[in-house]
Amino acid sequence: MIFNPAHPSRYGRLRREPRKDGLSTIEAAATLLAGLERRPDIASTLNASFERLLTRYREVQAEMPELAPKPAPKGRRRDFRRGKKA
């Protein structure tokens, strides 16, 4: 499903999305549910929870950098395209 989000993903530099307008699953679900139910509070509640998770993740990474994921080797890019099934 492709959205046209009003804001970029809250992930920021923590995770690269295959598309620059990509959202995390929880951000996409929040947008979809809020729109279907016509209740913007759903999106704000889910996004606030996600923001708290990301804040805590950043705190832990600063406190214990040894837990941080290792960067991919230079020149090696992840292929986000789906393989065709035979």
Q: b vs e for 55-76, b when ≥16 Cβ sit within 10 Å of the residue's Cβ?
A: eeeeeeeeeeeeeeeeeeeeee
- pLDDT one-digit tens code per residue, 10-40: 887 777 777 778 888 999 999 999 999 999 9
pLDDT of residue 73: 73
Q: For the chain, give the mean pLDDT.
A: 84
pLDDT of residue 63: 92
